[in-house]
Structure 1
Amino acid sequence: MKAALLALALGAPALPAAAGEAACWYENGMVVVTAQVAGFVGDYILDTGEPRTTLAETQAQEMGYAGPQVTGDVLLAGVRLTGLPVAVADLDVRTGLLPTPVAGVIGADVLKDQVVDVSFAPCRVRLSRPGRAPAFPGQRLDLAWAEGRPVALAGASDGSTALRGPFVLSTGLDAPVRLSEALAAAPGAATPGELLPYGVLRPRLAALSFGDALLADVPAGLMNPTPDSVAGALGAPVLARWRVRFDFPAGELRLQPAS
């Protein structure tokens, strides 16, 4: 069967961790790291594109928590943040792409005051306080926020129509790129719902530009809802071309070739 095309609408084993650093694993487009959230130690999806940290409902019940939210500490890569509100939700759909269950999702609310370095191969996560991070040469992009999610400029094209705008940067997205339903469609898709997050359809986007990279024929999908003015989201399969620094306090994204 010929792959659908996405059209734009006109208009490994863990290694010992250094201080402030932790081993992670990267599979099916998601970064997963061991952490402790509200007293529960487990594997968590690290998702820079998720505004809230969430504890899986099953794990919350094991800890005796009831209700849609708990308050607790988060311990990640040697950094402890205290008294954070943590959502409780069923994550079965989101974690279905991973070989083992995860305990939850660590989101941007935990990361926003840190300098976060992510390497994908080998997978490592490092957290530093502002002004204490090691040197990280590489190209610089502006980093902004949209409804609690970090965004940077990127471009997309279906071969005849192009757009450029803010894209959410997500280390836990289930696809390399997703575009807002308001800006794109997949004509002829038999089951449009499968184009949305955690659906099985992956139409192809003709071209994607981000930083100094121009990618062709990229597996993609749609997303809805999206924050106002956001064109879409870029996932870890795109970000993994580089070592990435999210300097959230400084409003900077740094990209260093992965090699």
Structure 2
Amino acid sequence: MKPVLPWVNSLKEFPSPHHALHDPNGLLAAGGELSVPWLLHAYQQGTFPWFGEGAPLLWWSPDPRGVLWAKDLSISHSLRKTLRQSRYRVFVDSNFADVIRACAQPRAYTAETWISPAMQQAYIDLHAAGYAHSLEVINEQGQLVGGIYGVCLGRMFFGESMFSRVPNASKIALVFLVRRLEQAGCKLIDTQLPNPHLQSLGGSLLPRHEFLRHVHTAMQQPLDMAWSGELHWSELNA
């Protein structure tokens, strides 16, 4: 018999991520709300929302999980050269709304986006509550050319999306984020699903049970990091 996808109407009904389907990989439940309490509950379980425009709200916890260990961050020679040139400035939480809106723009390879207006507002609300954060990459003309955003709970960062309007801008945002998180005691960044771009930067896969165990431990530990101000490569590359 084909497994039945549960429809949840309250947080009490939210299933354990261990009950996620194998096909499609990681699909856990449908229904619920895109609200701060629901999002926090989901992330605390290693679960995230992902659904297309017009589709029901879907929750996922894939196995294996895409991750990036801070110690495994791979920075190419050409990217290191760009970082040393200091052509871009990188800020923390200076313009979260513009970052998520830029991430929601269609990519060259598809006209679709999963970051719907409702999803954007949900994470803007999560940002206002102090749980969602962004990094902004600014060029010499003061323009936003790249960025990344995600959710941070304790010493666990759940990456959501990033964008680039010039070559390497999203990589710069990710490298700055990972190095700063590592300084603050965060060892693992959730990247949800593997892709060649993240693998080129050191991304790997982790069995779900190991990922969930790490999430549980990391969220009990405080993160020594201020989500504001400007970051400098010279201070992150020590």
> What's the TM-score bracket when you normalise by the shorter of the two chains?
under 0.3
- Using structure 1 for the length normalisation, give the TM-score: 0.26
